[in-house]
Amino acid sequence: MRKKIVAGNWKMNLTLEEGLSLSKAIAEFAKTNPLDKLNGSPKVIMFTPFIHLVSVTESTKGINQLETGAQNCYIEEKGAFTGEISAKMIQSAGVKNVLVGHSERRAYFGETNEVLAKKVEIALANNINPMYCCGEVLDERNAGNHFNVVKEQLEKGLFWLSEEEFAKVVIAYEPVWAIGTGVTASPEQAQEMHAYIRSLVKDKYNENIAENTTILYGGSCNAKNASELFANPDVDGGLIGGASLKAEDFGAIIQAY
């Protein structure tokens, strides 16, 4: 049975003090509302800026199904790459997850599917689980090319993995046109793309792997619409942006199953 996940992407927000306050509030929520006892038994991941990772990871110790993640990693193991963070460094901080291919990394930093494949590879080599993001921009959807765009992103970024490697990956579908715009893909649109992604996994690997692949929705998901989105059979949770910055809102999304 595939795992339900609610992941919060803090992006470039919160000072160290603010981030620690938020993580403590989320940790307290998870203690008061044991995650394995909630509907769906969701795993919760906080993708924090790098300055928060060590402290926030410490605050999650001993709390069942509450984990941290890095928002990015570099393609090399080590070396003269000023300003970059390696997968080995992330792993040494006790962090289990990393975002790969977020739409903002693709758009603002020019990360290609080929570069993202290298990031997936080095994350797995360091025992870190990649959360691989895919999705189309508005022009691509309006042109009816959204399925082809997502297919290419998956084929070049992930579908070279072995079955064993692929089983460690979580996929997050981001309709880029719905991120930060206040526009959300309808539940029908979300289900349609998630089902399509699962069919691609089935065609590449097999039905068992497809049925056990966690696919999250990421696109202006909030406390008001999470239940409706999560009710879709192929939507296994959410990658949450702005709504993850307030413990009360994030807690409501965690309880939305």
List residues with catalytic annotation: 102, 174
Asked whether 26 and 57 are in contact (CB, 8 A), the reply is no
Asked whether 68 and 79 are in contact (CB, 8 A), the reply is no
For the chain, helix, strand, coil in percent to 5 are 45, 15, 40
Reduce the DSSP state of residue 214 to 3 states and report it: coil
CA–CA gap between residue 195 and residue 210 (Å, rounded): 10
Ramachandran quadrant class, 254 (left: phi over 0; alpha: psi -120 to 50; beta: rest): alpha
Burial (CB < 10 A; 0-12, 13-18, 19+), residue 217, is buried
> Longest Cα pair distance anywhere in the chain, in angstroms?
48
Encoded tokens for 151: 């297919």
Helical segments of 45-109, H only: 53-60, 87-92, 103-109
CA–CA gap between residue 21 and residue 180 (Å, rounded): 24
Question: Which residues have a Cβ under 8 Å from the Cβ of 199 and sit 6 or more positions away?
Answer: 210
CA–CA gap between residue 65 and residue 100 (Å, rounded): 21
